[in-house]
Structure 1
Amino acid sequence: MTPRVLGIRHHGPGSARAVMAELDRLRPDAVLIEGPADADALIATVADPDLRPPVALLAYAADDPGTAAFWPFAEFSPEWQALRWSVRAGVPVHFCDLPAAQTLAHRATPQRDPAEPEPAEQTDLFDEPADESARIARADPIALLASAAGYDDPERWWDDVVETRGDSGGFDAITEAMGALRQEIGELGEDGHDLRREAHMRQILRKTLKLPGVERVAIVCGAWHAPALAGKLPPAAHDAKLLKGMPKLRTKLAWVPWTHSRLAGASGYGAGVISPGWYHHLFTTSDDVVVRWLIHQADLLREKDIDVSSAHIIETVRLAETLAVMRRRPLAGLAEISEATLAVMCQGDSGLADLMYREAVIGERLGEVPADAPVVPLQADLTASARSARLKQDPRAKEIDVDLRRPVDRAKSVLLHRLGIIGIPWGVARDVTGSGTFKEGWTLTWKPEFVVEVVMASVWGTTVTAAATARITDRAASGASLAEITGALEAALLADLAEALPAVLTALADRAAIDHDVEHLMAALPALGRARRYGDVRGTDVTALGTVASALLVRICAGLPAAVTGLGDDAAAELRTRLDAVHETVALLDPDDRTRWVIALTALAARHDVNGLLLGRVTRLLLDGGQIAATEAADRLTYALSGGATPIAKARWIEGFLGDGGLLLVHDRELLGILDNWLITLAERDFVDVLPLLRRTFGVFDPSVRRNIGDRVANLDGRAAPATPTTAFDRELAAPAVAVVADLLGLS
């Protein structure tokens, strides 16, 4: 019997349904699926309920985990459904594509033009055309046919030409169309890798047809390959010649979790789809597809405290269906639903619509693998890196101090920071004293569940360095604020991720260019200032950070006058915290930056329309920096306490001026006298009003400081402070003790 070729669209829910229906109708004796032939041993795991898609077959070179490739599967992937169908039915099932050992060897030594850029080692595979003439068609040939037929959604086209036909002729039509398309654009790539792939598929097919009891064979493969497997097969000797002498690598394979976002075409995945979340919904929902989808979107909006009522859902359904009728389409598709969602649920807010696209249409579903799955390359690289850094995986908590001037200690620090970035908190940083920024303290605890975390982190890369680089780049690209992006930048420097710095700095520059909120800029600057120190401590080139930090400071100084105007007490308190952080950071920048900041503070201190909390703080910063003398600070305090402001406003000025530095009043008698004089002249009601503020201000001082202030206040009127009783020295009583000490010191 002629083998049944089911040409499918990778990750197409319509294809998946059609494959399942055809397998039910055909009841084959064996099933072949496009995928690495040496992964057959992992097929049995498909029956494990703990293996939940999206997942991927991961193959990596045993001697070089960085050389790796992924074959992803979603719940709606036709290949996954064919695997599940075969396992449930007890039908022999095999992968038929080139073994991963040969695929990785080909990737490691590709035949390419020397002028072309070096390809990335880590690859997501199903179809990856070798030459540009086939690249567009091969990326998604079903989408190309759909476009030619006037469809903007390949799934809609598939429904019309395959599923609604109600017969088994749809796959034959797909194979015929792909044959015509291949003839139209020419044969495959110049290096012949795809020809060898199809030759291997035919060799596996011949081998399967010779097995006892096998008469009906179903082949599930990308539609592009269907013509090469359908009909009469060419001579086996021809295929054997193509496959002869192919290089191999020693390879290991494993299942790893995957995500919907990594299935999306926007992630760079060659066989990606534009709407994984929507496709999952299409495949798993049997009735009321549009209504249930909109309910899902409404739930997402409600989780973000956005009001969405049942009426919103009803009107969105009506609008989507009306758009479909106007466009002469039998059912509303994703385009109509998205437009209706924007108009009704999101009320025209494109930002909310983009949020729905990311969280619903693409989604972020994470797959799961069994706990006893084979080790992944990330774990292997982690183990090797830990051994190199002389870190032992110990379940008992252990504290260590590392000196970044020593190479082995620096390796410890870098590894722990990188693991923290990818969500493996083996080490938790703790505060230490001494050695300045060259010393770090860590508490190490290796937990058994970290093995699972390592497997999950494999979605970012196959080595600790690659995974941390990808994760920090993603954090910077998706950062909702400047502070998040600068936090990512600081983490990248601590983890010595030099390759991530260009992307993070680009994200920072892009975000800073459109962010006009001075508080956001002030929140972002401290991380940049701290990061500049790592050039000395860690040997990292941070030259570009000075330019970025200076640019942010210029915008802060320009926007600060407007930002401080008309602030209430709570807003002023928050801004004071930002002000202090920026002031500390400016001390780490260049002299020109420090001068610019002092000018901005001086201008601010001269204003009278700003919350006293900020004016008092700015005056204190100028005093501590030596920009104004103590006498001038005393004059400003006198003015602040003698003006027409309310007693509470004056107490705010004092709170800002003193901050947590009560020693100033211990050492400056003039300031203390001004403050004391203001306080004792307050009316009783005013005193009661300001007392809580003053108590909060003085309450943060150290008890010894408060005691010294009290002593100074008692002596402000010129009277001597009460003499502190002293104990007379009795030589006779002390003689025995002195003799013992002298004997111990060898002085007797």
Structure 2
Amino acid sequence: MGAVFVGVRHHSPACARLVAATIEEQQPAYVLVEGPADFNERIDELLLGHELPVALFSYSDQHASWSPFCDYSPEWVAIIEARRCGAEVRFIDLPAWHEAFRDVSNRYADAELRYTEVVDRLCVEFSVDNVDVLWDHLFECETDPVGMAEYFDLLRGTADADEGDSAREEYMARWVRAAVADAGDRPVVVITGGFHTAALKAKLDGGTEWPEVPERERGASYLVPYSHARLDAFTGYQSGMPSPGYYQQVWENGAQRAADWLVESVATRLRERQQPVSTADLIAAHTQAGALARLRGHENLARTDVLDGLTSALISEDLTQPPPWTRRGTLQPGAHPALAEMLGALRGDKVGRLHPGTPAPPLVNAVQELLRTHGLDQEGKVALDLTDAEALGRSRILHRLRVLRIPGFTRTSGPTEGAQPRLDEQWTLRPVEERLAALIEAAENGATLEEAAGAVLERRSRHAQLEELAGILFDAVLCGISTLSGRVKQSLNEGVKDTGDLAALGKVLSGVLGLWRHDRLFGTRRDPLLGSVIDVGTARVLWLVEGLHGGPAPADPNRLKAMAAARDAVLHAKSALSLDVVDVTGVATRVSNDVQAPPDLRGAALGLAWALGSKPDVRKVRTIEALGDWLAGLFAVAREEVLASPDLVGVLDELVSAMDEDEFLVALPALRLAFSYFPPRERETIAATVLAHRGVEGSTRNVTRLTVDPVAVAEAMAIEKRVDALLVKGGLA
């Protein structure tokens, strides 16, 4: 009988129905399906009784990919119908880890981008916006669609296969030839993406031996739960079809009832969000959709007929962006709320579940046992005292899960990079549907939780920028992964020596200092390599700062953080430094007196010298230009010293009070940044000093608890000044 080819568009109800009808009619010996051939020995796992959607997740050393199935996937229907009629089922495509899939994360991503020219031509011919609308127009809204094979032949006739496609098609053709030879006088049904069908038909001559399945050195394949949200093209998935929730309704109930469901779902979602939707609106939407369907020659309502009808009935103002169904892509910020609810309804909310007997990778069982043993498999809040060895162990488990991005484990407080240490952590635990899928997918990194988290951090560190390495090191320490931290420390040490990026250097130095200072909590034990990073980093900060020149510029919080880190290195890690305090003070004094240095660095340098014991002459503050930026630098580095100096606070009060409205408006952004370095209690201390300087008695709380935005106050003052000037000009003052 030979081969009967059915080219399909992935995740298409029309194609799924065609596949079912073809298998029922042909009663084949074999049904060959585009899918990973290395899973053939385990194909029964697909039939355990899962709730779809699910996906076949495959990984190796270099690559990971998914082969998703939903109820209306032609590939899934082919497997179900083949078993029903007693046919042998085989996946015939190369394994997902093969070089042919080097740039493919989803096996069933259509090749439409490669035949854009002919699709564009067809869209113009049929007056539709894009390939999704074209497909609906030709096939999904028809009760008995025709011409599907010709459609795919036309598309492939204008496109050239790349190396990956050629390798895949040659491999699939070998399966087809072998199955045809083995089937004798019974047919073989071949289900592949329509892009490949014409090429396979042309490759029926050749050897008939069953092809070997390529083997991989490392990696595995497992079924994972999937969801409509992950399938949706409007959220970024490059599938054959968008709007999985809608097409689920088309598959189960037909196009007309799916249209009714969509209108009802959008109305319900909008009403739940307190958006007004009347019965008249819904009648208008139905009427508009029906009129559009007739105008467009649709036998049944198409998806865009309904969406355009809803848009016309529910949205009266101009849209800030085109409706997303007129193009493939995600909804942009600022979109009309009705559009967002339409997409939410289209997407659906179905989440797949695996049968309890589905094989899982070792990591899944290892994590579930860890969670059970350490009491982390419950819902609620968890408080951890990190000075307790058992609590520290639980913390490391949670941090490893965080690094792997396993959902359901959220840290709400705890130690942070470069900050004063917290000796406790707070976590919120909650069960989530997506956790199992995330654990299975994380298994590509290792069989144990520590191994998997270490592999993720190792991968992050390979191409990380200098400032990212400090965060990776901090994560490694929180996870208790010491094997990685040595390599990252060495990379940090090498990067610090050569960097000219003061902001990145400040972030690194601050983070490493936190680990050095709090070695008992983090277990770093005054690590010599960390000490080397601190020594080299501090010297590099001072060298870069002394070479920076330029006119007034806005204060840069990142480089001020570097100056604060240099201060902390001298004060708290002196034993690690080759520099003497005198040397550091000398650099700070020179920069503070350098009129060519940026104002914020001059202020920070003065603060550094002050923090190291060299008290400044507060009278010189009166000569400072760009006062707000200079203060930002001073306060960032010498906040405590400023609080203890009423003389300086008094001088600053006089300088700010002497500003006219225009000068104050210009200085306001920098002044706001400067005083943001003081927490509320310390602002009250400054307020008390100011009141004492002025000889005024009063509540500092009332002074510091302004309920209006300071910018609004300044703007009001400016308006009042203009009004006063107009009154004077008009002789009305």
Q: TM-score range by the shorter chain?
A: 0.5 to 0.7
Is 1:222 matched with 2:193?
yes
| Kept after mapping to 1: 8 A contact 2:8/2:74 | yes
Task: Label 1:549 to 1:17 Cα distance change in 2 as closer, same or farther (>3 A).
Answer: farther
How far apart are residue 467 of structure 1 and its match? 12
- The residue type equivalent to 1:455 in the other structure is A
- The residue type equivalent to 2:231 in the other structure is L
CA distance in 2, matches of 1:44, 1:5: 24
| Kept after mapping to 1: 8 A contact 2:38/2:213 | no
CA distance in 2, matches of 1:416, 1:107: 33
Deviation digits for residues 16-54 of structure 1, max 9, x if unmatched? 2222232233332321110001212343233333x1222
Instruction: Determine helix, strand or coil for the equivalent of 1:366.
Output: coil
Deviation digits for residues 135-184 of structure 1, max 9, x if unmatched? 72368988985665544465665566557887796454345435xx33x3
Task: Label 1:210 to 1:296 Cα distance change in 2 as closer, same or farther (>3 A).
Answer: same
- The residue type equivalent to 2:17 in the other structure is R
Instruction: Determine helix, strand or coil for the equivalent of 2:56.
Output: strand
| Kept after mapping to 2: 8 A contact 1:396/1:446 | no
CA distance in 1, matches of 2:560, 2:121: 48
Task: Label 1:30 to 1:205 Cα distance change in 2 as closer, same or farther (>3 A).
Answer: same
How far apart are residue 14 of structure 1 and its match? 1.9
1:123 counterpart residue number: 105
Q: How does 1:523-602 map to 2 (within 5 A)?
A: 534=511, 536-537=513-514, 546=557, 590=636
How far apart are residue 92 of structure 1 and its match? 2.1
1:185 counterpart residue number: 159
CA distance in 2, matches of 1:44, 1:244: 20
- The residue type equivalent to 1:194 in the other structure is D
CA distance in 2, matches of 1:171, 1:618: 68
CA distance in 1, matches of 2:259, 2:400: 47
| Kept after mapping to 1: 8 A contact 2:132/2:241 | no
How far apart are residue 219 of structure 1 and its match? 1.0
| Kept after mapping to 1: 8 A contact 2:408/2:432 | yes
The equivalent position to 1:257 in structure 2, one of 225, 229, 238, is 225
1:506 counterpart residue number: none
How far apart are residue 460 of structure 1 and its match? 8.4
1:725 counterpart residue number: none
CA distance in 2, matches of 1:74, 1:337: 23
CA distance in 2, matches of 1:155, 1:127: 13
How far apart are residue 70 of structure 1 and its match? 1.1
Instruction: Determine helix, strand or coil for the equivalent of 1:207.
Output: helix
| Kept after mapping to 2: 8 A contact 1:31/1:91 | yes
The equivalent position to 2:171 in structure 1, one of 200, 216, 219, is 200
| Kept after mapping to 2: 8 A contact 1:402/1:413 | no
Instruction: Determine helix, strand or coil for the equivalent of 1:637.
Output: coil
Task: Label 1:232 to 1:137 Cα distance change in 2 as closer, same or farther (>3 A).
Answer: closer
2:99 counterpart residue number: 106
| Kept after mapping to 1: 8 A contact 2:92/2:171 | yes
How far apart are residue 629 of structure 1 and its match? 4.5
The equivalent position to 2:420 in structure 1, one of 418, 432, 437, is 437
How far apart are residue 278 of structure 1 and its match? 2.8
User: Whose radius of gyration is greater, 1 or 2?
Assistant: 1
Instruction: Determine helix, strand or coil for the equivalent of 2:78.
Output: helix
| Kept after mapping to 2: 8 A contact 1:125/1:271 | no
| Kept after mapping to 2: 8 A contact 1:59/1:69 | yes
The equivalent position to 1:352 in structure 2, one of 334, 337, 355, is 337
How far apart are residue 256 of structure 1 and its match? 0.7
1:578 counterpart residue number: none
Task: Label 1:495 to 1:258 Cα distance change in 2 as closer, same or farther (>3 A).
Answer: farther
Task: Label 1:456 to 1:174 Cα distance change in 2 as closer, same or farther (>3 A).
Answer: same
Deviation digits for residues 378-419 of structure 1, max 9, x if unmatched? 749979xx9xxxx89724479865589xxx989938834625
Is 1:53 matched with 2:32?
no
| Kept after mapping to 2: 8 A contact 1:67/1:104 | yes
The equivalent position to 2:308 in structure 1, one of 312, 334, 339, is 339
| Kept after mapping to 1: 8 A contact 2:142/2:298 | no
How far apart are residue 74 of structure 1 and its match? 2.2
Instruction: Determine helix, strand or coil for the equivalent of 1:39.
Output: helix
| Kept after mapping to 1: 8 A contact 2:109/2:238 | yes
CA distance in 2, matches of 1:13, 1:141: 23
- The residue type equivalent to 1:437 in the other structure is Q
How far apart are residue 80 of structure 1 and its match? 1.6
CA distance in 2, matches of 1:653, 1:373: 65
CA distance in 2, matches of 1:56, 1:589: 55
How far apart are residue 635 of structure 1 and its match? 3.5
CA distance in 2, matches of 1:158, 1:636: 78
| Kept after mapping to 1: 8 A contact 2:177/2:206 | no
| Kept after mapping to 2: 8 A contact 1:139/1:271 | no
| Kept after mapping to 2: 8 A contact 1:429/1:443 | yes
- The residue type equivalent to 1:275 in the other structure is S
TM-score scaled by structure 1?
0.54
Deviation digits for residues 242-262 of structure 1, max 9, x if unmatched? x89977444421111223333
How far apart are residue 336 of structure 1 and its match? 3.5
Task: Label 1:254 to 1:319 Cα distance change in 2 as closer, same or farther (>3 A).
Answer: same
Q: How does 1:339-488 map to 2 (within 5 A)?
A: 339-348=308-317, 350-376=335-361, 379=364, 394-396=373-375, 402=386, 412=396, 415-416=399-400, 418=402, 421-425=405-409, 437-441=420-424, 453-456=435-438, 462-463=444-445
Instruction: Determine helix, strand or coil for the equivalent of 2:336.
Output: helix
Instruction: Determine helix, strand or coil for the equivalent of 2:698.
Output: helix
Identify which range, 353-362 or 146-155, moves more after superposition. Answer: 146-155
How far apart are residue 466 of structure 1 and its match? 11
Structure 1, unmatched stretches of 5+, are 111-118, 130-134, 473-489, 498-528, 551-585, 608-616, 641-651, 658-748
Is 1:315 matched with 2:284?
yes
| Kept after mapping to 1: 8 A contact 2:263/2:282 | yes
2:13 counterpart residue number: 13
Instruction: Determine helix, strand or coil for the equivalent of 1:19.
Output: helix
Task: Label 1:148 to 1:412 Cα distance change in 2 as closer, same or farther (>3 A).
Answer: farther
CA distance in 1, matches of 2:66, 2:11: 14
Structure 2, unmatched stretches of 5+, are 320-334, 377-381, 446-451, 461-469, 478-505, 517-529, 542-554, 562-631, 643-648, 662-677, 707-733
1:556 counterpart residue number: none
CA distance in 2, matches of 1:93, 1:80: 11
Instruction: Determine helix, strand or coil for the equivalent of 2:286.
Output: helix
CA distance in 2, matches of 1:460, 1:392: 16
Task: Label 1:85 to 1:146 Cα distance change in 2 as closer, same or farther (>3 A).
Answer: farther
The equivalent position to 2:684 in structure 1, one of 623, 626, 630, is 623
- The residue type equivalent to 2:27 in the other structure is R
Q: How does 1:5-154 map to 2 (within 5 A)?
A: 5-49=5-49, 51-61=50-60, 64=61, 67-98=63-94, 100=95, 103-106=96-99, 123-126=105-108, 136-137=113-114, 149-152=126-129, 154=131
How far apart are residue 422 of structure 1 and its match? 2.9
CA distance in 2, matches of 1:214, 1:589: 88
How far apart are residue 69 of structure 1 and its match? 1.7
Identify which range, 321-330 or 142-151, moves more after superposition. Answer: 142-151
Task: Label 1:410 to 1:291 Cα distance change in 2 as closer, same or farther (>3 A).
Answer: closer
Deviation digits for residues 506-531 of structure 1, max 9, x if unmatched? xxxxxxxxxxxxxxxxxxxxxxx999
Instruction: Determine helix, strand or coil for the equivalent of 1:628.
Output: helix
Q: Size of the alignment, in residue pairs? A: 506
Instruction: Determine helix, strand or coil for the equivalent of 1:315.
Output: helix
Task: Label 1:107 to 1:158 Cα distance change in 2 as closer, same or farther (>3 A).
Answer: closer
- The residue type equivalent to 2:242 in the other structure is I
- The residue type equivalent to 2:686 in the other structure is G
Task: Label 1:438 to 1:142 Cα distance change in 2 as closer, same or farther (>3 A).
Answer: same
Task: Label 1:164 to 1:284 Cα distance change in 2 as closer, same or farther (>3 A).
Answer: closer
TM-score scaled by structure 2?
0.55
| Kept after mapping to 2: 8 A contact 1:623/1:633 | no
How far apart are residue 217 of structure 1 and its match? 1.6
1:282 counterpart residue number: 250
Task: Label 1:592 to 1:87 Cα distance change in 2 as closer, same or farther (>3 A).
Answer: farther
| Kept after mapping to 2: 8 A contact 1:302/1:308 | yes
2:698 counterpart residue number: 637
1:304 counterpart residue number: 273
| Kept after mapping to 2: 8 A contact 1:419/1:468 | yes
| Kept after mapping to 2: 8 A contact 1:18/1:163 | no
How far apart are residue 308 of structure 1 and its match? 2.6
How far apart are residue 656 of structure 1 and its match? 6.0
Identify which range, 263-272 or 222-231, moves more after superposition. Answer: 263-272
